[in-house]
Amino acid sequence: MRKSLQLQADMAREFGACVFDVTLDCEDGAPAGAEADHAKLVSELALGAEEGMRVAVRVHAVDHPAFADDVRTIVGGAGARLAHVMIPKVESVQDIETAVRAVDAAGAPALPLHALIESPAAVHRAFDIASHPRVQSLSFGLMDFVSAHGGAIPEAGMGVEGQFTHPLVVRAKLEIASACHAHGKVPSHSVVTEFKDPAAMRAAARRATTEFGFTRMWSIHPDQVRPILEAMAPTGDEVELAVRLLLAAQAAAWAPISFDGKLHDRASYRFHWQVLERAQATGRPLPAGARAWFDAAA
């Protein structure tokens, strides 16, 4: 956890912005029987993170005996410093409501929740879960999802190739991404376990964003962070096109225009503005004209 926080701070200085979140893990990260001590450590680390860094926590599932203590200790002690709370193994809107009550009681009534979708039933309810006003993002828990099928999905379905081709896994990803986009929430892609293969990592992240509609992705190793950022960031050509088009649209008072032989209107203006937002979020350099837009928005 300390290494992750240090990497986050170092890359923020390199890129001039915080380009990824660090989620401190209580669910899989806490030794059995030492959950309370681990929660105290997470609270201390969150409070000690550098200013401007986005730090979150994954607590235990709402039906776990340690859930309430996790929330009281971490949200109660460091809630003002947290970007969000990740709730694993969410099965229904009722689970979200349980988490909301606990987080609110700990003194953080505005703190966003991220829900981890890890079972076939949860996928079935993804649209309802995404519609909850406190839910900011849905993440796909690939390995638990595959395990929940009792061997009906082969182990290859958890791999860098199989998770993009097995029909049940593909369906789950599309449902989660669609649910998020339907309700203006952020879809976050599952992990890739092959962390020693940066080319495979980059290809997986690219497929996650261009084919499946995910706008964020989990990493489980520091070596995965840069390939994910590279794959999910727009290319230099995409940024340059977006800037030229938006400057032309601005000059036309945002009326429809002909640009490079194609008709463009406010729908395509929104799309190209989103390209620039992705560039900004991933620390990519922006031309002076685009930087001025973001400075004005700030």
Q: Residues annotated in the binding site, as ranges?
A: 58, 118, 144
Q: Helix %, strand %, coil % for the chain, to 5?
A: 55, 10, 35
Tokens of 226: 């840069």
| Distances in whole angstroms, Cα of residue 35 to Cα of each of 3, 23, 95, 236, 243 | 21, 16, 21, 46, 50
| Distances in whole angstroms, Cα of residue 78 to Cα of each of 82, 96, 103 | 7, 20, 12
Q: Which residue has the tokens 């400075």?
A: 295
Tokens of 114: 């991220």
Q: Which long-range contacts (CB under 8 A, 24 or more apart) does 90-95 make?
A: 90/61, 90/62, 90/115, 90/116, 90/117, 90/118, 90/122, 90/129, 91/119, 91/121, 91/122, 91/125, 92/121, 92/122, 92/125, 92/128, 92/129, 93/125, 93/128, 93/129, 93/131, 93/132, 95/61, 95/62
Annotated binding site for substrate: 58, 118
Cα dihedral sign, 195-234-81-96: negative
With beta carbons less than 8 A apart as the criterion, state whether 46 and 38 touch. Answer: no
Annotated binding site for Mg(2+): 118, 144
How far is it, in rounded angstroms, from Cα 74 to Cα 283?
Answer: 30
| Backbone dihedral angles phi then psi of residue 193, each to the nearest 5 degrees | -80, -15
